[in-house]
Structure 1
């Protein structure tokens, strides 16, 4: 595909990653090679010049201690010495001059024409090809004379030239190695992306959302990306399953009210009664439709809370006044039924939560407690803070819940045997659990038939 369309190749992440890695590797190698060459060449220069400096110091010592003839004898003693040695008098006349035999390309006249290098400084001299082939240094004597030493640099330059050539030739395998390394790095870096693509293709092809990308624990950033992707899939799966469950519940539990609504309407149409009877039938239809609407809205709220799609307007709030408001609201109902409601909690009890939904939780629990507590019974609402959570308990002396039904009360639309006589949808406790779960909390219940029940919610600060 890339060969057919070069633009796609240039825009691909693999090509960019390989290119950047190759360039970076090559530039890094060049910097290292240049630094190494600089160090090596400096060392070679220093070593070659150090040898000359030591020799000229020895000759100067001989001249100062033993005189001109001793120096001349020492200079001409070793004809194989590869240094040019020259002693210039204080009048500019040449006292000693020894040129190695193998310096065929050296022009002696340039020694006379050119300025001498200053004391302990270096000067380059040219060969036949008019390029620098020799270097010279000078040392001033106390009597005004000047001692000069010169050496060939062609061997040193040839060595450095060979080193440069090796470095230049080494660029080819370096580029190849950098390119192969770039391919390897790009493959490792983009492998999680390929896995994500394969997983998405699998989901699209099979319509199954239970597929997950494996986490290999090889790179923190990649593992985090894959974990977030898997978490997203889990949330999507939970949303879809929640929608499926809602539709199943709606399809199952709406049959009875819809049948009752249809039956009432058909009877009204077939009846030849007066307007009051028809008006009553219409009233029953409206009441049943209102019940259906409440059921649908509650089912949607439960589904949103359970799947994490519920929008929470969380704020730091004092839950104590909220409990008091709910108790005051339901106090009239409890008073009419002859049920006593008692509270016990501090005046300040702060947590971060959605005020309206927490009010709904408290209202549902208190409403259930009043419903299933007989006349003369008692309801206690307590709240406190423990470590990093707020605990709210609603305890009653009602009919209680059997152990067989205790784990079923959180199911949607479930109504126990003792609740059949009470009006309701069977969604109150499901909504309580879902809302508390959406706040990263949890609910516990304990109950004994004939003694009462206690619902405790735990909400993080």
Structure 2
């Protein structure tokens, strides 16, 4: 529970409770002053009306008529109004003492009388009065007063309501803050448990999504995407390590065997030269394989996405077609291009160029002289489709899904130069660009297509 009180959610709850409390105080103050002011105005209105009525009685009957009017009112039993008619500090009529003969508005108190029937009796036995004194033409002072106990009781009730309201708001705010803190801590704790399992080595763990669509769910989705990327990178690292351990063992073994043979058979320093030349060539091939593996790993890490920009694909493919048309002539292949102008994609220009070059070089390397190779670019269903098609021997259907694996080579191609990583790199570039790589039968031959999203 102490963690709850230290949580930001609890503190935010208290802050909101404090803000609401201040707002409630302001609201209650406005209600208090408006209500009390309204009732006071009503009270003043009643006193003013009664004063005008008695002044009218004075004008009609003089002091005698006024005294009679005051006496009639007191005899009627209305104990809310009180009166005084005084001349030179001497009471002529009424139930108020002569000292109350003050001109203008004033306040005073009277004691509770046995006949009082008010609902809100004051605890101290003193009832507040609101008085208005008026000077008559003959110098007499007429005072009309009215009990203000209801107004005082209302003010007391409003003050009590404000205080109790503040207590309730603070309690609810503290309780709400604690509940919010506990709820937030539960979800944070779930994230911590997942993080702990990942630290222990289980990279398949993911942060649960509650489906509410709130900030924690957005955080969970971003964390899960990050964990997916980390898991892919770790898998790629393990794959690279496995590939190096298994697929580079053979060339390294051949290199060692050649050096051992040279050491045993060489009779003079000149006899070592052919073995050294072969060792250098094999070492260069191994280094090329290492470089290709590292490049594929870099592509699969996704770090190259930061370099994505607009790529004028039509111009790029046109340049590749012109370049490899010359190479095809040297290898006795028939190369042609059919390129739709004005096509652009978003991506890494260098990697897209490398991937398309690999497709062309694969076709040149693994088909016999005289083979027709055609490179095309078309837009289809919102995508740019680059295809390299040939009428050579093709690839068996059951091997098409395997040739993109690292170091996989068909039996017929093992006598040709290469390391079996060309199509693996193309597949990695396709994944990086969220593109689709397909290998299909060209009847005869093979057609390899790379489908990339286009941009306007």
Determine the structure 2 residue equivalent to 1:452: 445
TM-score norm. by structure 2 comes to 0.83
Q: Structure 1's 329 and 399: CA in aligned 2 closer, same or farther, altered over 3 A? A: same
Q: Is 1:379–1:395's contact at 8 Å kept on the other side of the alignment?
A: yes
Q: Structure 1's 326 and 77: CA in aligned 2 closer, same or farther, altered over 3 A? A: same
Aligned residues: 436
Identify which of 26, 34, 41 aligns with 2:36.
Answer: 41
CA distance in 2, matches of 1:285, 1:444: 38
CA distance in 1, matches of 2:237, 2:152: 82
Match runs of 1:168-187 below 5 Å: 168-187=163-182
- Asked if residue 109 in structure 1 is aligned to residue 99 in structure 2, the reply is yes
Q: Is 1:125–1:132's contact at 8 Å kept on the other side of the alignment?
A: no
Offset from partner CA, 1:432-459 (integer Å, 9 cap, x none) = 11112211222222115x6111121122
Determine the structure 2 residue equivalent to 1:17: 12
CA distance in 2, matches of 1:70, 1:86: 14
Determine the structure 1 residue equivalent to 2:145: 150
CA distance in 1, matches of 2:362, 2:176: 69
Q: Structure 1's 239 and 150: CA in aligned 2 closer, same or farther, altered over 3 A? A: same
- Asked if residue 264 in structure 1 is aligned to residue 258 in structure 2, the reply is yes
CA distance in 2, matches of 1:222, 1:49: 60
Determine the structure 2 residue equivalent to 1:392: 386
Q: Is 1:124–1:132's contact at 8 Å kept on the other side of the alignment?
A: no
Q: Is 1:125–1:135's contact at 8 Å kept on the other side of the alignment?
A: yes
CA distance in 1, matches of 2:391, 2:92: 126
How far off is 1:224 after superposition? 0.4
How far off is 1:219 after superposition? 4.8
Match runs of 1:297-446 below 5 Å: 297-310=291-304, 312-386=306-380, 388-446=382-440
Gaps of 5+ in 1: 3-7, 118-122
Gaps of 5+ in 2: 112-125
CA distance in 1, matches of 2:409, 2:248: 15
Q: Structure 1's 277 and 143: CA in aligned 2 closer, same or farther, altered over 3 A? A: farther
Q: Structure 1's 247 and 58: CA in aligned 2 closer, same or farther, altered over 3 A? A: farther
How far off is 1:401 after superposition? 1.4
Q: Structure 1's 98 and 436: CA in aligned 2 closer, same or farther, altered over 3 A? A: farther
Q: Structure 1's 265 and 62: CA in aligned 2 closer, same or farther, altered over 3 A? A: farther
Match runs of 1:115-264 below 5 Å: 116-117=103-104, 123-127=105-109, 133-137=128-132, 149-204=144-199, 206-264=200-258
Determine the structure 2 residue equivalent to 1:31: 26
CA distance in 2, matches of 1:145, 1:335: 133
Offset from partner CA, 1:367-417 (integer Å, 9 cap, x none) = 011123332221111113346432212111121111111221221111123
